[in-house]
Amino acid sequence: MTYHNILIEDQDGIIILTINRPKSLNALSWDTLEEIKYFFAEDGPSRKGIKGVIITGSGDRAFIAGADIKEFLDLKAKDGAVLAKRGQDIFFSIERFYVPVIAAVNGFALGGGCELAMACHMRIAGEHAKFGQPEVNLGLIPGYGGTQRLIQYIGKTKATEYTLTGDLFDAQEAYRLGLVNYVVSPGEEVSKAKEIIKKTATKGPIAIQKAIEAINAYFEEGVDGFEAEVKRFGETTNTDDFREGATAFIEKRKANFSGS
């Protein structure tokens, strides 16, 4: 696939994925979603030595200002349900990616943009970032996981308020509520995300992957997260990385992980 709506830059194993539609405030068109899907399902997994992925938006006004509403106007009930399921599946591929995915929120993260940010493993917000699920203003509800993930991050009470009022909230409130990991000066979002990925890249890569799987299991319907943890803990103990990490700890030296 040739990318037209996103930019992919590999900076020594850290992938910077930029939503590149600044004239529409990086709104998520159907084609943009397909490109994101292709990266996380095919392009990304085929690349060697990926340490992490940072998703950000082009320009300094918006991370992603929502879905491309013009494409919604002719939707009927069946079409709308198909679109929502498609968006959810794409965002699950982000959430389940095997290395850390961090949203560097450099402006408005509204509707589908907020939902995409919540599908990432962590979020870094610039001081001027704004978050919200304003779909009710259009007579819609969030469809790409927003009603579920916002509750997971900030609790039912505030998630219900913001979903039903459509009100926006700023970066400091997002931090206070637990939606974002850090608030940084404008323009420092990607740098902070890179700092975190550089740190996680020094850890055992299999352990990182299994930790992501175990954390996600907490929210998966019909899955016992504790059982998932037991299974993945067992899988990590049967690796060369575990033996190297334990030996390095005993010998008081830095571990040299191989990913095996």
Alpha-carbon distance of 1 to 53, in angstroms, equals 19
Nearest to 54 by CA among 145, 133, 121: 121
* Structure tokens belonging to residue 72: 């919604």
135 as an active site residue: the answer is yes
Which residue is catalytic, options 35, 95, 115, 189? 115
Contact 43, 93 (CB under 8 A): no
35 as an active site residue: the answer is no
Which residue is catalytic, options 35, 95, 135, 189? 135
Crossing angle (nearest 10°) for helices 205-217 and 240-251: 110
Neighbouring residues of 166: CB distance < 8 A, sequence distance ≥ 6? 132, 133, 134, 135, 136, 137
**Annotated catalytic sites, by residue?**
115, 135
